[in-house]
Structure 1
Amino acid sequence: MTDSLSPDEARELLAVGGAAYGRGDLTAALATFEQVARSTTGDLRISAMINAASMSDELGDHASAVDRYHEALAAMPADARRIRPAALINLSQALQHVGDLDGAQTALEQARSLLTDAADDFEDLRVPCLLSLTAVAIHRQQWAYAADLAHESLEAAVRSAPNLAGHPLMNLAAVHFETGRFDLADDFAGQALAAFDEAGDSNAFAETQQNLGIMRARSGRHEDAEPLLLESQRYFEQAGVGHRVGIGLKVLAFVAEGRDQTERASALYRRSVEHFAESGAVLDVADVNTRLATLAFSTGRRDEGEALLASAVETYAELGLGLHCAQVDVWHATLLEAALNVDPDGALHKRAVDLAVPAALTIDAVRYSLPNGFQREQWNRHVADPAMALAFRLSYGCGDALLVSDLIEVHCAGTALDIGRSTGSAAPTLPLVMPDLPDRTPDVSTALHLGAALAGVAAGAGLPVSLPPHLTMSVGGRVALEPYIAEAEKRYGRPIRDSRSVPAW
């Protein structure tokens, strides 16, 4: 066991760890903070535990970071009025990284409550608290609220913590980018880079470079994205930040894929998987496997692509992420449709239908659970409508008139059927960022109960509505799409229809 440190020795080592972090050597900083945590007691030990948790989070070991923060919070005395909200804010960031938005929100609300009752000298903690609240709002696509929080945190940073001003500027960049204001997003990201450079924060500067590169890659500006991605990549590789290295490799692979550099893209994707796997980022591994599957399909290696897609679905299913499974199944069916355009095969066509229809019904039902009209319109335009159009095309292509009829009845002809789009298409390309999924299902106990047609209209307008009912066909009394609805609810683990049943006519 390491010998005990005197308070002065512990403070000196904490400073050494801080210096290592400042120059980008996160691994050395983590080892130093762990040494202090093992070898001292009291406030110094708690500070070292929190710093070690922060290093774990930045190095990509998010689950370990959450455990370390909880351990530090449990070790704190009841009167730790300053360090407790700081630890809660940092905990919320780690919880966001593992996808626990509810836990992150709870931690931030606790921190904000403590800071509301605190003295003015706690102003420096209010800024990171607001920054984390902004991040949660961005995750939940609450764009107006996120923008308000970003402006509030920017004002607080300029007033009391100018070295942190780059963070709210980057949050404003993210909000503007996600709402289609690309020029403003670029401008705010540039201001963030300048702010981090002035503050001497090399880690945040590199992260912002990478994030700006990602935004440019997503908007098709590959030539502008690549220099930023390569420069930030060199920094993260030298610093040993495995998760960030994996992200950079994935985006560089996406850029290569857009240039039809298939071999380079595949090699970069595989390297990114290695980094994600080492840091325990299983969701990122599943995402990249889906991208590798796309490349495999495009080069005729369908069996390899099928195995990669099955691996991604298995990961999402184990984590209870049914909607992610549905998205992968829609993409799987899209890849099969492209293969059918080259080599028609009846059995393969039926398999594509069996994937596409339950997944499209599940994805279409999501809009009823979204909290506002903007989110519902975006979801319908970018996710649900293309998925339902795919289901229509594949059903029509396999000659299943009854299935097509049921889809029209259930969907009330809400998706235009353009058969011309089902042939002669280029190899499909997976977007760099898949559409965000809702993290919770709202309470619909007081929602309107409408028929399928009116429910769709109300969902589009943003009114709270329950799921649409089952449709009972007048002839024969059967339920439209009953086997596909049952398969969807079983496969994806969420209801897509209300328990009620109404006649189709």
Structure 2
Amino acid sequence: MTDPADLTDPADLTDPSDLNDEGVRLAGAGDLVGARSVLEAALATSPPEDRAQVMVNLAHVVNALDERERAVDLLTEAIASGEGAVRLTAVASRADLLPWLGRWDEAWRDVEEALVGVDPAQQVVLRNTRVGLLMMAGHLAEAEAEAVEAVELAGRHAPEYLANLYANLALLADEAGDEGRAAAYRVLSDNPGRQPLGPRWQRFVELNTEGAVLLSSGDRDAARTAFAAAYRETLEVPLREPPAPADASAPADASGTGPAAVDDVEALVCRAGVAGNLAGVADHPEEAVRWSTEAVEAARTALTIVGDAYGSATVLVNALLSRAAARLTQTHLPEALTDLDEALDLVTWAEDADSFEATVRASRARVLAVGGWFAEAADEARAALDLAYTAAPAMAASVHATLAEIASATGDLPGATEHLALARDLSAATGDVAGVATALLSSARLAYLAADLDRADAWYDEAEALLADDPRRLAACLHGRAAVAVLRGEPRAALALTDRALALVETPTPLESLAWHQVRGSAFEAARDFAEAESCYAEAEARCEAAGLWHVALGMAWWRADALIRRAADATGEERQRLAHRALDLALPAALAAEAVRQRFPHGPLREQWVALASAPATRSAFLAIRALGDSALAAEYVDHVAGAVSLHADGVTAPVQRGDLVGLPPPPTTGAHLPYAASGFATGADPAFPSAGFELPPRVRLDPAVPTALDAWIDVTEQRYGFAVRSGRAVASW
């Protein structure tokens, strides 16, 4: 906001030049009446050599006040007295107005005469006017030919006119019924670039723009073809190593490096942009990483040579976002976060900085949530949401979806439901069909977790109706239906659904493959085909290990333990003991690790929510496994261990668990009451090394602090298996 103390009172101005500048300022601020008054005062006192410029400025103001004849009179006088660029501007401006007074022929004659002997930059000014005259006269073919020639000339000599010329070409394409070309020209008009590319790159710009228009219309394959053709245009200029600046601390400048060097730089700029676009239409994450890496490297080099003259910072941020998304799909989470951290450092350089920051923070929140860094993810998502509502409203829905995932994974199902309702409504309001479908799929999963199978099926029905052209999300929908079928006691139907899902996805991502094996494992178990179930679970576990998804492995371990406990309940003798031992080997380390994950959370409700709800299934499985084995000594040691993990009670979350309740847990549930882990929302993964968020690790609890217990060995196994500390090396006496 302008400080009133900085405003100039026109009455205090006496110098004609100052009055002229003040009139221009007032006109730019929308005060046309004030501008007219000041400019008339300037005209009355200006010396003869300055009058023409003042008259041109005053003519623009009075024309805006609907005094067209007065404007033409002023411009006529300016033409008579002006010289050079001022006279040329007066000719062009007058020619723009004369047709409205029925004097088109006079306007055309003036422009034709003015074109004789002028330099290329002045030609652009007059040709731009001639395009408008031809359009007004209905000579559309001639107007288009004139505009195309003027664009080539403007690219070399007067780039400030490119936006207007492209806008006229868009209007001409509209008139011809060519919607594709019209859209392409509008893109060019809206994005003329900070420093326009030279004429060498005109064909590249057309092809790249064509690809963008085709992609926005949904024709992905045709867009890829156009982008590939544009990329080939950039290969015709061999790139040389950029010269090292004489003064490394000085900003780079291409203006004195010669035409060949400029072509090199512009080839880099073009290559960065189109490689980023090719990353966006890649079919596989590996291909997306390859293209986005080329875009990153080219944009970085362009920034080193000429700074952000061509808008390369924006290209670099987009390329980093694209590569991070592909790396997230590959579950290469640390690399994705590195890209996003760099993008966050660059957003202040990019155009529309707040919108880009919202996008980067939303992406970081998603990666952190997938990695199980829920507290950090929640903070980042809230920051992204604040920015989205002010600078990028269309993004708000996806951020609410991420917040729903965080809430669900930490046991806050009502909070997750609320965020998903907002995500669904916001996506519908902005016409984002994919966003609506994603929110419906997540809502169905929450209904499934609440054992409301009819509602889950209804959500899946609604989502499936939107997913005919989206095989990946349709596969997720079929996975969800399969999980519901298992819970309904229909394992064969569930297996058929997983087969359909796999057929839809040519190359499953690690998380998709993991989900497929988990659901199939649960279906085989429900069908009592335990060998096949174990094979599926083993494959899922291998996928977890290969992708570094320790958090997924942790959840899957207690889920597999539950399955083994159910089998042990129907077995006798040595088979019962064998199954119980296997269940304990899975369940107890998972429970110890789940309880220790609290160190990842800072003090506050999210930490207590995790302790009370999210880690509870693992603790419950551990006690059931110990009970199935009948090891009362280990049960007592584990009770002491759990009692030593002091946690504040989160009001309204769950009632405190008493020591006696832990020993007297109910018998294992029936198969129909079990919720497969694949649908539980804990499918996350990250580097297992994490710092404590505030509390020190609790000590080990022993009957005699000097004598290790059986549980000590299990703690050691857990720390080795999951890669982080569970208890400190100190020991205290049990109570």
| 1:487 aligned residue | 717
**Mapping for residues 235-384 of structure 1, pairs under 5 Å:** 235-237=469-471, 243-275=472-504, 278-344=506-572, 345-384=576-615
Q: Which of 282-291 and 178-187 deviates more?
A: 178-187
Closer/same/farther in 2, CA of residues 173 and 308 from structure 1, 3 Å limit = closer
Which residue, 429, 453, 458 being the options, matches 2:675?
Answer: 429
**Mapping for residues 9-408 of structure 1, pairs under 5 Å:** 9-41=203-235, 42=267, 43-56=269-282, 59=283, 61-76=284-299, 77-78=302-303, 79=307, 80-117=312-349, 125-136=356-367, 139=370, 140-141=373-374, 142-143=377-378, 145-157=380-392, 165-175=393-403, 178=407, 179=412, 180-181=414-415, 184-197=418-431, 204-220=432-448, 221-237=455-471, 243-275=472-504, 278-344=506-572, 345-408=576-639
Number of aligned positions between the proteins: 460
Q: Aligned partners of 2:568 and 2:474: how far apart in 1?
A: 37
8 Å CA contact 1:213–1:224 kept in 2: the answer is no
Q: Aligned partners of 1:253 and 1:335: how far apart in 2?
A: 18
Closer/same/farther in 2, CA of residues 346 and 500 from structure 1, 3 Å limit = same
SS of the aligned residue for 1:502 comes to strand
With normalisation by structure 1, the TM-score equals: 0.80
Q: Aligned partners of 1:434 and 1:425: how far apart in 2?
A: 22
Cα distance, 1:156 vs structure 2: 0.7
| 2:640 aligned residue | 409
Q: Aligned partners of 2:606 and 2:469: how far apart in 1?
A: 36
SS of the aligned residue for 1:396 comes to helix
Cα distance, 1:310 vs structure 2: 0.9
Cα distance, 1:190 vs structure 2: 3.8
Q: Aligned partners of 2:428 and 2:318: how far apart in 1?
A: 26
Q: Aligned partners of 2:369 and 2:545: how far apart in 1?
A: 25
SS of the aligned residue for 1:214 comes to helix
SS of the aligned residue for 1:466 comes to coil
- Identity score, percent: 23
Closer/same/farther in 2, CA of residues 108 and 423 from structure 1, 3 Å limit = closer
Q: Which of 259-268 and 71-80 deviates more?
A: 259-268
Describe the superposition over 1:381-429 as per-residue Cα deviations: whole angstroms up to 9, x where unpaired. Answer: 3332221222122212322122112212222287632645224534322
Describe the superposition over 1:218-272 as per-residue Cα deviations: whole angstroms up to 9, x where unpaired. Answer: 22432431233212321214xxxxx434323322323444444432221222333
8 Å CA contact 2:635–2:663 kept in 1: the answer is no
Which residue, 465, 470, 495 being the options, matches 2:700?
Answer: 470
Describe the superposition over 1:416-472 as per-residue Cα deviations: whole angstroms up to 9, x where unpaired. Answer: 32645224534322151332657464434xxxxxxxxxxxxxxxxxx7123333334
- Identify the structure with bigger relative contact order (alpha carbons < 8 Å, sequence gap 6+): 1
Q: Aligned partners of 1:50 and 1:82: how far apart in 2?
A: 11
8 Å CA contact 1:170–1:188 kept in 2: the answer is no
Q: Aligned partners of 1:329 and 1:183: how far apart in 2?
A: 27
Q: Aligned partners of 2:404 and 2:669: how far apart in 1?
A: 36
* Structure 2: runs of 5 or more not aligned: 1-199, 236-266, 449-454, 645-656
| 1:453 aligned residue | none
Is the radius of gyration larger for structure 1 or structure 2?
Answer: 2
Q: Which amino acid aligns with 1:422?
A: P
* Structure 1: runs of 5 or more not aligned: 1-5, 158-164, 198-203, 238-242, 445-462
Q: Aligned partners of 1:34 and 1:24: how far apart in 2?
A: 17
SS of the aligned residue for 1:465 comes to coil
8 Å CA contact 2:330–2:510 kept in 1: the answer is no
Cα distance, 1:361 vs structure 2: 1.5
Closer/same/farther in 2, CA of residues 258 and 189 from structure 1, 3 Å limit = farther
8 Å CA contact 2:423–2:435 kept in 1: the answer is no
Cα distance, 1:51 vs structure 2: 0.9
Cα distance, 1:331 vs structure 2: 0.9
SS of the aligned residue for 2:681 comes to coil
Q: Aligned partners of 1:123 and 1:389: how far apart in 2?
A: 46
Cα distance, 1:489 vs structure 2: 2.6
Describe the superposition over 1:87-141 as per-residue Cα deviations: whole angstroms up to 9, x where unpaired. Answer: 223333333333344444443343333332556x656544533543454565543
Closer/same/farther in 2, CA of residues 302 and 313 from structure 1, 3 Å limit = same
